[in-house]
Amino acid sequence: MTNTSTYTAPLPDPADPLTGPHWAAARDQRLAVQRCTSCGALRWQPATICPECLTTGGEWTDLAGTGTVWSYTVYHRAMNPAFADQVPYAVAMIELDEGIRMIGMLTGTDIAIGDPVRAVYDPVTDDVTLIRWERVDAT
């Protein structure tokens, strides 16, 4: 998808102790989030404490990588110059089938609220694979 030798936009730190397991899973083409070991709540963004029951810690679990568009916007002007070569692009709030929501970039701009989407994995560098969202009926 993306030319890995020329990707210059900001990237996550795959060595970050809090988010690193998510990025390691993405490299393996899996969508992983934290699950509370006490109450079972899934959470995104990663956190050291469960926002539902305040238990510290948690475990990583793989999700299906499917959901629907809950909201979205299409950027026609890059708010960060690093994304200038990617406009127009769409960013959406995805409601995952497991019930939590996650923000991500879509693979196209032909999108509507309620559209079914799936995660696709874009290895933008040797160390970082970003997760994009693609309409399920897209070809």
Cβ(119)–Cβ(94) below 8 Å: no
Site size toward Zn ion (CB under 5 A) is: 8
Q: Is 123 helix (H, G, I), strand (E, B) or coil?
A: strand
Cβ(36)–Cβ(14) below 8 Å: no
Of the pair 9, 41, the CB lying nearest Zn ion is at 41
- The CA-atom distances, in angstroms, between 120 and each of 17, 30, 48, 64, 65 are 24, 9, 27, 11, 8
Of the pair 40, 116, the CB lying nearest Zn ion is at 40
Identify residues 8-67 at the interface with Zn ion (CB under 5 A).
Answer: 36, 38-39, 41, 50, 52-53, 55
Structure token pair of residue 28: 């393996």
- Nearest approach in angstroms of CB 104 to Zn ion is 24
- Nearest approach in angstroms of CB 118 to Zn ion is 27
Of the pair 38, 68, the CB lying nearest Zn ion is at 38
Of the pair 34, 129, the CB lying nearest Zn ion is at 34
For the chain, first and last CA: distance in Å? 14
Residues that bind Zn ion (CB under 5 A): 36, 38-39, 41, 50, 52-53, 55
